[in-house]
Amino acid sequence: MSPINALVDFSHDTGTTRWQDRHARVTAPASGYTAAGLVFTAAILTAFAALLVATAWMFWVLASGTMGSGNALVAIITLVAAAAAFAGHTGRGLVASLVLIGFGGLALLIAALFAMAGCALMTG
């Protein structure tokens, strides 16, 4: 006996059950992905990965230049631990939390560097 597709509505059909079993269409669910969508996704993910690499490199250069290599390593470990804690409390994935915490940490570091530069310019 062939399986019946659950999407076919036989409630108003007056045919016999055997005929319905033999003639019901068995179709696989359609995929929601198109080739153009997959190519676009691959292009965006490649650009995003390059942006993440550039951001990580810039964070390392700025952090090691201002704090020294040892303290920069501690800051990176702290950011990863904060991302893990954030992922655990919010239910987000670890990668999404790393991206969020990483961009936030870089933004705070750049803001601190601009604040230090502003203070240096004002005090002369």
**77 plus 112 within the same structural domain:** yes
The predicted pLDDT at position 19 comes to 63
Domain with 2, as residue range(s), is 1-30
CA–CA distance, 98 with 81 (Å, rounded to integer): 9
pLDDT at 8: 60
- pLDDT at site 116: 86
| 26 and 67, same domain (yes or no) | no
Burial 40-63 (b: 16+ CB within 10 A, else e): eeeeeeeeeeeeeeeeeeebeebb
The pLDDT assigned to 26 comes to: 66
**Residue 113 pLDDT:** 84
- What is the structure's pLDDT at 38? 86
User: What's the angle, vertex CA 49, arms to CA 88 and CA 108, rounded to 5?
Assistant: 60
Task: Tell whether 60 and 82 lie within a shared domain.
Answer: yes
pLDDT at 107: 83
Residues 53, 91 within the same domain: yes
Looking at the structure, tell me whether residues 25 and 58 fall in a common domain: no
Pair (25, 47) in one structural domain: no
Segments of the chain scoring below 70 in pLDDT: 1-30
**Single-letter amino acid code for the residue at 78:** T
